[in-house]
Structure 1
Amino acid sequence: MQFTCAIYINKPINEVVTSFEDPGALKQTQKGFISLKHLSGNKGEAGAKSKLVYKKFDLIETIIHNKLPNEFYAKYEHKSMTNTMLCKFKATNDNETKLTAYIEYTEFKGFIINLIVKFFPGMFKKQVDKWLVNFKKYCEN
């Protein structure tokens, strides 16, 4: 399953990328986020692994490549699913940035998650859209 979400943020690209790189932003933009723990590799570089801890689940993030301020690409693994996310940043003018997230779910494990994917596939995109709106609010305030 693949989908794309995009949002325009009324801030210069350097400020948007600084917020994107700040783990503290996750607490403000993703409900239930608790912490990020670096596990291995050089922080912020390809191959680096981190554990993202949420109230109800954990994710392992593996950076595929980090070409910020233009793009960031990573894989996220959960016990029930695996996905990749490519975030691209583009300055539309001096005070506006377009953030586009390309999401691809590559694996679903288990009966329940496969039912959710089959009957409610739009909920995955809605969640990413919600995170982008929260991130926009965070950046602009």
Structure 2
Amino acid sequence: MKYSQEITIDAPIQKVIQLFDDPDQMDKWMKGLISFEHLSGTQGQPGAKSKLKFQMGKREIEMIETITVRNLPHEFSGTYDAKGVHNIVKNYFEEISENQTRYTTENEFQMKGFMKIMAWLMPGAFKKQSLQYLKDFKAFVERTNS
């Protein structure tokens, strides 16, 4: 399953990147994030691996992030692996004006086992969650920017 989404953030691209690129800020906009733990490689650089834990309803989900591209302020991409799910996420940032930034994500989910059934039954749930993270990040940046 592949899809892309975008949102316009009312803040300069430098501010957007500064907040996006700071793992200590993630819990302020990424609902359900319990912890972020660097595992290997140079943090924030291609090849680096980190473990993210999320509380989603009554379930705790653990995933491994592997950074694949770091070309900030334009692109930051990676893979996210959890039980039955391999997600490729490409984040793109574009300066619209000195006070506006377009943030676009491209997601590709590759499912195995039970998660294949979930993706087939509820594809909208994945898109809805991705869009919610975009909206929450936008609100966080704009609150911090004012």
Is the TM value for this pair above 0.5?
yes
SS of residue matched to 1:90: strand
Specify every segment of 5 or more residues in structure 2 that has no aligned partner in the other structure, as ranges: none
Aligned residue runs from structure 1 range 98-137, under 5 A: 98-106=102-110, 108-111=111-114, 113-137=115-139
Letter in 2 for 1:26: M
| Two-structure CA RMSD over aligned residues (Å) | 1.0
How many residues of Structure 1 are paired with residues of Structure 2 in the alignment? 139
Q: Which runs of 5+ in 1 are unaligned?
A: none
Query: SS of the counterpart of 1:57?
Result: strand
2:6 aligns with 6
Alignment correspondent of 1:20: 20
Residue type of the alignment partner of 2:137: F
1:23 Cα offset (Å): 1.7
TM-superposed CA distance for 1:120, in Å, is 1.2
Give the Å deviation of 1:28.
Answer: 2.0
Q: 1:25 Cα deviation (Å)?
A: 2.8
Q: What secondary structure, in the 3-state scheme, does the structure 1 residue paired with 2:38 have?
A: strand
Partner of 1:92: 96
Percent of aligned pairs sharing the same letter: 38
